[in-house]
Amino acid sequence: MLCLAVLMFAGRVPSRRELDRLADDAVFRDNIALFCGEPTDTVMTSTQMVNVLKVLDAGELGGLQSESVRQLVAAKRLPDAYVLGHLALATDGTGIYASSKPHCGKCLTQEHRDGSKTYMHNVLEAKVLCADGMAISLLSEPVENDADGKYEKQDCETKAFKRLLPRIKEEFPRQPFVHLLDSLYANGPALSCIDQAGHQFICNFKRGSIPTLYDDSIALLGLEPGNVLRQQTALPGAKGTQVRQVLRWVNGIEYRGVTMAFVLCEETDCKTGERKCFAWLTSFEVDRDNVREIARGGRMRWKIENEGFNEQKTGYGMEHFCDCKDPDAMRALYLLLQIAHMLMQLLAKSNLLEQPVQALAHLARMLLESLRNVRLPENVPGMTLPPMQIRFAKADP
């Protein structure tokens, strides 16, 4: 059942009804049976799959996320997921259900000016970011109200972050993390939680977040005229666009018991003359040697949107679970989607393909068509085979 659900997302099957149609195909059925190691004459329907997910502990599926990342880190398969020696982690919320009708007692509600209400289910997602474009899910925290309705304020992303951070610390007590945050987290409570966890942060900073701190930081830059670095560089992923950057920084800023630095990046497009300005708060002590790396880490933050949620919403179809009446089944399917997305990203970056695949949508079509049209050989290596070693011969002197 788990393999079927993962393949549904990995192959980007457009609906559960379409999955049932595929399950009637003899080649697809035989391949699934061989792949799972369970001979069967029929493939379970999507309704049966959801019924199983209703009684499955979603927490166990969540454990697969962190365990997968732990193995990738231990095997040193994510060398470009680090900023100053710290594993880059971005956190952001996403909606997985929205309707004008209530889904369950845990729904978040949003009231509109015309008096109508929207009922929602959201999830706070922590993803490991890689410079090569991958965004791998580490842990997920549901954003939902208490089912008994006994609460003064609704659950929100900030509250969920305070619950998520101890879970990360418990799963990875010795792993150094740097949190790449948007301006929503530029507040005392959130930054204090990160500081208490012993993690680092690089947080986008806008004047509207903490106006007095922003103005004071700009003023302090004038007192440190030597803290400036000018460079011309090409932006990653921008087809070689050259920009001139002026980086300024100041250390020793105190706010709500947290000591941090302020970094300002003024950027000018060498071709068009367009100017942009970026600002970050960071717990790293900034100097001329690491300011470039801190600015790069701050710019990586957008990847959780592009390679993460946007890709999943438009390509993987989060609507697969939006019509599930049971919130546990909905959460389980969401976690399986994260696992499928991780596997497809790793496959696209691996050397298992004869030619590299740039678009995950194309890879998904290749996978699905192969399962429908190409029978797997009977001697496919599986988990039941005894352990083996592969050794490479030494080259002749």
Query: What total of structural domains would you count in the chain?
Result: 2
Domain assignment present for 393: no
> Would you call 214 helix, strand, or coil by DSSP?
helix
Please indicate, yes or no, whether residues 254 and 219 belong to a single structural domain of this protein: yes
Domain assignment present for 392: no
Residue 238, pLDDT score: 57
Residue 290, pLDDT score: 96
Query: Which residue from 90, 159, 151, 85 is spatially nearest to 122, judged by alpha carbons?
Result: 159
Domain assignment present for 5: yes
Residue 165, pLDDT score: 96
Domain of 286, CATH number, reads 3.90.350.10
Domain assignment present for 396: no
Please indicate, yes or no, whether residues 184 and 261 belong to a single structural domain of this protein: yes
Residue 314, pLDDT score: 62
Domain assignment present for 136: yes
Please indicate, yes or no, whether residues 250 and 354 belong to a single structural domain of this protein: no
Please indicate, yes or no, whether residues 61 and 35 belong to a single structural domain of this protein: no
Please indicate, yes or no, whether residues 154 and 266 belong to a single structural domain of this protein: yes
Domain assignment present for 387: no
Domain assignment present for 113: yes
Domain assignment present for 388: no
Residue 41, pLDDT score: 82
Please indicate, yes or no, whether residues 113 and 158 belong to a single structural domain of this protein: yes
| Residue-number span of the structural domain to which 305 is assigned | 56-349
Question: How far is 369 from 371, CA to CA, in rounded Å?
Answer: 5
Residue 302, pLDDT score: 73
Residue 366 vs residues 166, 303, 344, 374: alpha-carbon distances, Å: 40, 25, 12, 11
pTM: 0.88
Please indicate, yes or no, whether residues 291 and 358 belong to a single structural domain of this protein: no
Structure tokens at 78: 């994510």
Please indicate, yes or no, whether residues 61 and 128 belong to a single structural domain of this protein: yes
Residue 172, pLDDT score: 95
Phi, psi of 388 (to 5 degrees): -140, 160
Please indicate, yes or no, whether residues 208 and 290 belong to a single structural domain of this protein: yes
Please indicate, yes or no, whether residues 274 and 374 belong to a single structural domain of this protein: no
Please indicate, yes or no, whether residues 258 and 293 belong to a single structural domain of this protein: yes
Query: Which residue from 2, 6, 61 is spatially nearest to 364, judged by alpha carbons?
Result: 6
Query: Which residue from 382, 386, 352 is spatially nearest to 35, judged by alpha carbons?
Result: 382
H or E, element range at 201: strand 200-204
Please indicate, yes or no, whether residues 175 and 258 belong to a single structural domain of this protein: yes
From first to last of its 397 residues, the chain has per-residue pLDDT tens of 888 889 889 998 888 888 889 888 899 988 888 877 777 788 888 889 889 998 888 888 888 999 999 999 998 989 899 999 999 999 988 888 888 888 888 899 999 999 899 998 899 999 999 888 888 999 999 999 987 777 788 999 999 999 999 999 999 999 999 999 999 999 999 999 999 999 999 999 999 999 999 999 999 999 999 999 999 887 765 566 788 999 999 999 999 999 999 999 999 988 888 999 999 999 999 999 999 999 999 988 876 555 556 666 666 666 566 567 788 888 899 899 999 999 998 888 887 787 777 788 889 999 999 999 998 887 766 555 677 676 666 666 5
> Would you call 230 helix, strand, or coil by DSSP?
strand
